[in-house]
Structure 1
């Protein structure tokens, strides 16, 4: 993965049901090929003890386009001995100015989730 300091895209997953970071949650970053209309996998990762996954993409590889973060929420809840309504969560967003910094948090419970563009 790219170095965290130069990463223009960050995420933070919070288990809002228990009030803790969602640790060891698998996720992946994809970019849409606008000609073929297919998602290309860019990187995979797992959240750390703070619920963050540093180094998703380098500044050099970050271009205008449509991206998605896929969070493997079903596996996360299963690892905690619980079931969940959502087997995964996909957050799709458009980047027009890759020089900006983008933060995409995910607030998660077993039966709901919320996201927003943070700073």
Structure 2
């Protein structure tokens, strides 16, 4: 068992496609020494998607690489993954402290962001039902503004729900519209208001990835 009291690198992997911790992801820690990389040990994420301590030896100052076996994880889940392996290179300047590296993972993309950075990504998306001049060209089409006949009372309801959502969770409501009408989104937003902040943060990130994957399939990115 690794000694988690010593300075180390830990990780937490979330499967944004399923909205749950990614258990059983193999992660290898390498130390980069010039053009060589020396394996420091391989671990698998636990039921909570965590590895408390990567590597078998003590940390020293220098560059390390984390390799996440994304494709193998999704293969076990019966899902074909476009992304097979995610690698992150990190610079350890103080070997006397602990370092934690979170990873958001899907079959198409991975991202290592702090919670504050995740909220920034979420808030970069337009509000559902916002004024057409406030959304991008892609969002304009995805939200159906080019064929919009939404009744004013539905737009007012969406505006109220968006405000309630942002007051409760501290970030914007994001959903993959997937060619649904704004009327159809109202009950979705109402239901998600009953969730917890952590659940909604994960759901929002999962929806963002779904939007990106759809745009990729449509050849729009």
Structure 2 residue aligned with 1:109: 106
Q: Deviations over 1:92-112 (max 9, x none)?
A: 111111122211111001111
Gaps of 5+ in 2: 116-221
Q: Contact 1:32–1:67 (CA<8 Å) still a contact in 2?
A: yes
Q: Distance in 2 between matches of 1:77 and 1:92?
A: 23
Distance 1:41 1:8 in 2: 15
CA deviation after TM superposition for structure 1 residue 117, in Å: 6.0
- Deviation for aligned residue 1:61: 1.3
**Quick check: which one's strand share is greater?**
1
- Asked whether 1:75 is paired with 2:72, we answer yes
Q: TM-score, normalised by structure 1?
A: 0.88
SS in 1 for 2:58: coil
Kindly report structure 1 stretches of 4+ aligned residues shifted beyond 3 Å. none
The DSSP-based 3-state class of the residue aligned with 2:51 is coil
Aligned residue for 2:40?
42
Q: How many aligned positions are there?
A: 115
SS of structure 2 residue aligned to 1:75:
helix
Q: CA-atom RMSD, angstroms?
A: 1.8
Pick the aligned partner of 1:52 from 43, 50, 72: 50
Gaps of 5+ in 1: none
Match of 2:89 among 92, 97, 100: 92
> Whose relative contact order is higher, 1 or 2, with alpha carbons under 8 Å and at least 6 apart?
1
Which structure features the higher share of helix residues?
2
**Match of 2:199?**
none
Contact 2:8 2:58 in 1 (8 A): no
Alpha-carbon distance in 2 for matches of 1:67, 1:77:
25
The answer for the alignment partner of 1:14 in structure 2 is: 14
1:13-71: CA deviation from partner (whole Å, max 9, x where unpaired): 0001111000011110000113xx2000000010100001122146x610010001100
Query: For structure 1, which segment, 92-101 or 49-58, has the greater mean C-alpha deviation from structure 2 after superposition?
Result: 49-58
Q: Which has the larger radius of gyration?
A: 2
